[in-house]
Structure 1
């Protein structure tokens, strides 16, 4: 009978699963030449996207202040994952764009996530994993990436 399971376990199990996947992702990224990548970097690079973003747009997408977004961009720029360039539409502002190193990290992340999913399929069985994913889609209602999740944990 599953009704006797305490409600607080569900979010903890979901978070533990997320954490297990992210920890394994970053261990593999480090092995593949991206040792300084952190989870917040992945969220920020997803928010920058292939078209780039201004610091204001990035802050809005991440759910943080322009200043907080700027600090993350500073670190990503130091690591070679993004660059600031003149905005071709508005020369008064800077556009944050992924560098080839940033695109490489995101591309590797996608491949690693596919491998991690395959590991879960091997551990749970293909059908059980598909059932889990379907159930989560039903419960969550959307699979849209919410890159502001990191800020949600903050305050």
Structure 2
């Protein structure tokens, strides 16, 4: 199996754990919504930036944000640096959901670290970070 497929398997396993935990906690969130939400900056993000980072169209990002808004997880607020623009930011409930998702991610990473051992876990993180520098323009 090629390396990219192996990385995808791990990525999807993480997605499944996070989405499952979120649904158990009462959040009706899809994988696509979660992938977009995880890119929301602490002080908010513009829709166009979220779309670009999530590698979806602006229309798709808008639909995902609208679904998150209906659940009360995000809100659109004026951008203080540009009166014409709006920022998407977490509501208090959305921040709670994001914090819960982050806890699950950290727990899964700890399981992986325990399984791999400190040397391999560190080497894996270093190798993936190095690859990111090569392929990710949004780092």
SS of aligned partner of 1:132:
helix
Q: Structure 1 residues 135-144 or 56-65, which shifts more?
A: 135-144
Return the structure number with greater relative CO, CA threshold 8 A, min gap 6. Answer: 1
| Pairs aligned (count) | 134
Contact 1:137 1:143 in 2 (8 A): no
What's the counterpart of residue 133 of structure 1? 121
What's the counterpart of residue 75 of structure 1? 67
Unaligned 5+ segments in structure 2 are none
For normalisation by structure 1, the TM-score amounts to 0.72
Contact 2:18 2:104 in 1 (8 A): yes
Q: RMSD of aligned C-alpha atoms? A: 2.4
What is the Cα deviation at residue 88 of structure 1?
A: 2.5
Is residue 112 from structure 1 mapped to residue 115 from structure 2 by the alignment?
A: no
For residues 101-139 of structure 1, what are the alpha-carbon distances to aligned partners after superposition, in whole Å with 9 as ceiling and x for unaligned?
2111110111112222333345x2xxx343333232343
What is the Cα deviation at residue 143 of structure 1?
A: 6.2
What's the counterpart of residue 22 of structure 2? 29
Is residue 11 from structure 1 mapped to residue 21 from structure 2 by the alignment?
A: no
Question: Which one of the candidate residues 86, 89, 92 is aligned to 1:94?
Answer: 86
Answer 1 or 2: which has greater strand percent. 2
Separation in 2, partners of 1:139, 1:121: 15
Is residue 42 from structure 1 mapped to residue 40 from structure 2 by the alignment?
A: no
Unaligned 5+ segments in structure 1 are 1-7, 149-155
